[in-house]
Amino acid sequence: MNALATHRTDTETSDFHQAWVAALDVIELDVRRAEELLRSNSLEMPELIPWSPPSGIGALPLALLDRVKALHERQVEVSAALVASIAGNRRQSAFAEAIDSARPDARPVFVDRAC
């Protein structure tokens, strides 16, 4: 009977570890999508997938600590890049608005002339 109890504990430990691996996979996918968005020139926004933290998976297994630290570092880098990108876009928008407001009567003029 003791062997059966040990087997259950190993199975539960494996399930516990797999639950954490699955949760980290989802977070890593979100980080990867944000990194791709920052590299992309597309105006299309990717589909947003709602996420909520898993419940009942307990404390982080020590074996996954290095992965969590690396993932957290990537999240911090992506957050900083997103903030910089948003700030740059706001500066460009403000600059464009300032140019437009400085010349309210100005309209684009196109000259099409054959040589």
The total domain count for the chain is 1
In a domain, 6, yes or no: yes
Host domain of residue 93:
2-37+60-102
Instruction: For residue range 6-59, list pLDDT tens digits in order.
Output: 444 666 678 889 999 999 999 999 999 999 989 988 878 777 777 777 888 888
List pLDDT tens digits, range 47-92: 777 777 788 888 899 999 999 999 999 999 999 999 999 899 899 9
Question: Does 53 map to a domain?
Answer: no
Phi/psi for 59 (5° steps) reads: -75, 155
Residue 84 lies in a domain: yes
User: What six digits make up the tokens of 73?
Assistant: 């570092």
Q: Is the residue at 44 inside a domain?
A: no
Phi, psi (rounded to 5 degrees) for 49: -105, 115
Residue recorded with tokens 């910089």: 84
In a domain, 49, yes or no: no
Contacts of 41 (CB under 8 A, 6+ apart): none
Residue 115 lies in a domain: no
- Phi-psi region for residue 55, left (φ > 0), alpha (ψ -120 to 50) or beta? beta
Q: Please tell me the predicted confidence (pLDDT) of residue 108.
A: 67
